[in-house]
């Protein structure tokens, strides 16, 4: 079992090697400049690596990029093995990163909350308090103070 620091270093190396190879070494048109490697995670035994990526474009381009990454998996694994110099080169699994979709959902929810806050602000613009503006008694008021006895 490898330590977490070694797995982290290997994950960082895999992310860099795969990103550089996608940018410069692979001539697949499905993997143009719109594929971005966002994160890489390696299991504790250093046998499997999960590479997270995003694709700039629509669903058709995402499917094409997934197919392109799957076909380039062997070349990318060879490059990782050459750069890492480990006894066993980890197998690569490519997973579409859900972070952009999650961020978009959060932004939509925040917009709805802002709109709701604006409606409440508009509704309460001319409103007054149901009772007095300051319902608390203060020393020196006209009413008798019960603590003076």
Please name the residue that has the structure tokens 């972070």. 99
- DSSP single-letter state for residue 143: S
- Which pLDDT band, with edges at 50, 70 and 90, does 2 fall under? low
Average pLDDT over residues 8-32: 86
More confident call, 88 vs 135: 88
Instruction: Please give the pLDDT value at position 139.
Output: 84
Please name the residue that has the structure tokens 């509704």. 123
Q: Is the pTM of this model over 0.85?
A: no
- Which pLDDT band, with edges at 50, 70 and 90, does 49 fall under? very high
Please name the residue that has the structure tokens 């697949």. 28
Task: Express each pLDDT in 54-112 by its tens digit.
Answer: 888 788 888 888 888 888 888 889 989 888 888 898 999 999 888 777 888 899 999 99
Segment (H or E) for 60:
helix 59-71
Instruction: Please give the pLDDT value at position 86.
Output: 82
Q: Domains of the chain (ranges plus CATH)?
A: 1-98 (3.30.300.20)
85: left (phi over 0), alpha (psi -120 to 50) or beta: left
Half-sphere exposure of 51 (CA within 13 A, CB side): 26
3-state secondary structure of 126: coil
Q: CA-CA distance, 23 to 19, in Å (whole number)?
A: 6
- E strands, the chain, where? 35-42, 48-55, 91-96
Average pLDDT over residues 28-39: 81
Q: What's the distance, Cα to Cα, between the start and end of the chain in Å?
A: 78
């Amino acid at each position: 079992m490898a330590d977490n620091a070694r797995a982290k270093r290997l994950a960082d190396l895999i992310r860099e090697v795969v990103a550089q190879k996608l940018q410069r070494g692979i001539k697949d048109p499905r993997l143009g400049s719109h594929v971005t490697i966002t994160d890489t995670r390696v299991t504790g035994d250093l046998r499997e690596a999960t590479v997270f990526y995003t694709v700039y474009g629509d669903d058709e381009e995402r499917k094409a990029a997934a197919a392109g990454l799957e076909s380039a998996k062997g070349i990318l694994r060879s490059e990782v093995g050459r750069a890492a110099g480990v006894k066993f080169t980890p197998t690569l699994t490519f997973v579409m990163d859900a972070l952009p979709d999650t961020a978009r959902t959060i932004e939509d929810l925040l917009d709805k909350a802002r709109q709701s806050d604006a409606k409440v602000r508009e509704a309460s613009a001319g409103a007054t308090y149901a009772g007095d503006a300051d319902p608390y008694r203060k020393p020196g008021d006209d009413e008798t103070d019960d603590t003076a006895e």
